[in-house]
């Protein structure tokens, strides 16, 4: 749509209309309007960039919208703007950061996940490191809290515990890693031989199911477990962000997280302990392995000084022992 037809650009007329619709009484219309505008950010659409200040202002207006779908698309738009036009957010970064921190703790996991993507995108851009460093003391503990198992994860683990006596398949025990690269592309299966994708996509990338196929769309237990284990979620996004932060800031990150990590590793709640161990695994990259505090904490885990964890959760890294740190 970002084309010129007979000397005119349709988007020059459509973008202002979308901006008006961000204040529509219907939350669905507001959500769609923000989503449509966001679509044109990564493609450097000049018709949008002419109105980019008005677009950012509309995002701020919708930041506290009652509808979580609207807030989710606001967060998504801010992530895209950070990646494509970070200079437009920097003057208001203190306010944007506070909003994204608040949204990362949103009760709606879809909102929280989109907000968490903001920190992953922020960390991945080395040019933005000077702007991110002052926020580290606030961001890192929030990411750590996001790594505690959610309700859906626990349901998956309970199902895994029920077949504890059944020998594991190779795919069950294959290690999964949080990448320091584009973590939000986690474990996506490639499409091969030009075949059609496994599911149809909606206007904003979501997978949809044809009504004709709904009766046939039933996952057996194994398929459900595989889907749950590879699905990109808040916990994995937070771990990926912490991974990149560890590479970017090293010992500075460990200094920020030392207190919170101690509380989690020696907590009475196994969920808190598990999230602390996952955090150590996520941070086991680069120069941080040489950090003395990290080595002690990791050694406590590997030698069994941290209390055991029930069930059979899958962790994403092997933890370095004192001999490898």
Q: Among candidates 139, 140, 241, which has minimal Cα distance to 186? A: 241
**47 and 107 belong to one structural domain:** yes
Has residue 105 been placed in a domain? yes
**267 and 158 belong to one structural domain:** yes
**306 and 158 belong to one structural domain:** yes
The number of domains in the chain is 2
Residue 148 has pLDDT above 60, yes or no: yes
Q: What is the CATH number of the domain that holds 93?
A: 1.25.10.10
**290 and 221 belong to one structural domain:** yes
Q: Between the CA atoms of 286, 287, 288 and 292, what dihedral angle is there, to the nearest 10 degrees? A: 150
Has residue 211 been placed in a domain? no
236: Cβ contacts below 8 Å, ≥ 6 apart: 178, 183, 186
Mean pLDDT value of segment 220-236 = 66
**295 and 231 belong to one structural domain:** yes
Residue 204: per-residue pLDDT? 46
Question: Between 320 and 86, where is the model more confident?
Answer: 86
Residue 99: per-residue pLDDT? 97
Residue 180: per-residue pLDDT? 40
**153 and 259 belong to one structural domain:** yes
Has residue 155 been placed in a domain? yes
Mean pLDDT value of segment 128-156 = 89
> Which structure tokens are listed for 115?
């907000």
Question: In which band, very low, low, confident or very high, does the pLDDT at 320 lie, cut at 50, 70 and 90?
Answer: very low
**323 and 284 belong to one structural domain:** yes
Has residue 146 been placed in a domain? yes
Residue 224: per-residue pLDDT? 45
**99 and 144 belong to one structural domain:** no
Has residue 254 been placed in a domain? yes
**151 and 232 belong to one structural domain:** yes
Residue 315: per-residue pLDDT? 41
Question: Between 13 and 219, where is the model more confident?
Answer: 13
Has residue 43 been placed in a domain? yes
pTM above 0.85, yes or no: no
Residue 277: per-residue pLDDT? 87
Count CB neighbours of 120 within 10 A: 22
Has residue 59 been placed in a domain? yes
**286 and 158 belong to one structural domain:** yes
279: Cα within 13 Å, side-chain hemisphere: 31
Boundaries of domain holding 280? 138-163+217-325
**150 and 286 belong to one structural domain:** yes
- Write out pLDDT tens, residues 160-217: 555 555 555 554 443 444 444 344 443 333 444 444 444 444 444 444 445 455 455 4
The sign of the CA dihedral 99, 43, 34, 117 is negative
Report angle CA 198, 201, 203 to the nearest 5 degrees. 175
Among the ranges given (175-179, 248-252, 286-290), the one the predictor scored with the smallest mean pLDDT: 175-179
Has residue 200 been placed in a domain? no
Mean pLDDT value of segment 212-227 = 51
**288 and 234 belong to one structural domain:** yes
Cβ atoms of residues 52 and 91 within 8 Å: no
Mean pLDDT value of segment 221-247 = 78
What percent of the chain is predicted at pLDDT more than 70?
Answer: 62
Cβ atoms of residues 316 and 239 within 8 Å: yes
């Amino acid at each position: 749509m970002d084309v010129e037809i007979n000397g005119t650009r349709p988007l020059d007329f459509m973008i202002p209309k979308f901006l008006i619709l961000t204040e529509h009484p219907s939350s669905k219309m507001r959500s769609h309007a923000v989503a449509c505008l966001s679509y044109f950010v990564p493609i450097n659409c000049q018709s949008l960039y002419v109105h980019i200040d008005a677009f950012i202002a509309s995002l701020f207006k919708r930041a506290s919208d009652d509808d979580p779908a609207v807030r989710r698309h606001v967060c998504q738009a801010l992530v895209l703007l950070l990646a494509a036009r970070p200079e437009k957010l920097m003057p208001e970064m203190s306010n944007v950061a506070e909003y994204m921190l608040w949204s990362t703790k949103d009760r709606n996991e879809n909102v929280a996940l989109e907000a968490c993507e903001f920190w992953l995108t922020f960390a991945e851009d080395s040019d933005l490191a000077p702007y991110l460093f002052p926020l580290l003391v606030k961001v890192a503990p929030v990411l750590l809290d996001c790594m505690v198992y959610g309700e859906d994860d626990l349901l998956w683990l309970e199902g895994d515990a029920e077949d504890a006596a059944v020998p594991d398949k190779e795919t069950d025990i294959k290690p999964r890693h949080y990448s320091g690269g584009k973590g939000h592309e986690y474990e996506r299966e490639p499409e091969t031989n030009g075949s059609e994708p496994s599911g149809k996509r909606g206007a904003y990338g979501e997978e949809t199911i044809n009504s004709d196929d709904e009766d046939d769309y039933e996952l057996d237990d194994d398929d459900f477990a595989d889907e749950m284990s590879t699905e990109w979620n808040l916990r994995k996004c937070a771990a990926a962000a912490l991974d990149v932060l560890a590479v970017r800031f090293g010992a500075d990150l460990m200094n920020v997280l030392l207190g919170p990590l101690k509380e989690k590793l020696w907590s009475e709640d196994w969920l808190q302990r598990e999230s602390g161990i996952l955090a150590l695994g996520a941070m086991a990259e680069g120069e941080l392995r040489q950090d003395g505090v990290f080595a002690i904490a990791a050694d406590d885990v590997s030698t069994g000084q941290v209390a055991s964890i029930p069930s059979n959760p899958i962790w994403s890294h092997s933890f370095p022992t004192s001999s490898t740190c």
